A = this chain, B = another copy of it.
Amino acid sequence: MAAIEKKFTLEVPSSTENLAMIRDFVKRVGRQTGMEEQEIFNLELAVDEACANVIEHVYGNDTSKEVIIRAICDDKEVRISVIDMGRGFDPTGVTPATIDSLVSGRKSGGLGIRLIRALMDEVSYEISPGQKNELHMVKRLNSKRR
């Protein structure tokens, strides 16, 4: 028998001011799955990073644009998608710089995608440039991967 899926959606203006609200949303969803607090915290962080990228790199803080976060959970996993209507970018194609090279280059960026990949079990991107781009992230429940 198929497990019951629960679906949650949040849409907010593209502004870093709304990241706290996005994390709250993710926390609430995570609590419904019975995930451990550290896992929920990590999920918040991964989604924050994905949304911050959309807000900063896709929409340039244009608050007339919207960031959409969709979460679907069942008894096995939480799937979260961050959706934008921007030009389309595939972060899975980026090879994250080493921390050492970032440090010696005095760069402050380049850590977000690395965090997302480290924190989630699956990361994929579905691109329709100008129409809809979705970053899909999956976290399996009771998975021991940090």
Contacts and interface: CB of A to CB of B under 8 A. Distances in A.
A29 B17 CA distance: 11
Interface string A28-44: 11001000000000000
A48 interface: no
Q: Copy number in this complex?
A: 2
A63 interface: yes
Interface residues of A, number: 20
Contact of A20 (B9, B20, B28): B28
A110 B11 CA distance: 32
A82 to B, nearest CB: 15
Most buried by B among A8, A9, A12, A63: A12
Given A21-B28, A24-B24, A25-B25, A8 B13 contact: yes
Interface of A: 4, 6-13, 17, 20-21, 24-25, 28-29, 32, 63-64, 66
Given A4-B63, A8-B21, 20 more contacts: A4-B64, A6-B13, A6-B63, A7-B11, A7-B13, A8-B10, A8-B11, A8-B12, A8-B13, A9-B9, A9-B10, A9-B11, A10-B10, A20-B28, A21-B25, A21-B28, A21-B29, A24-B24, A24-B28, A25-B25
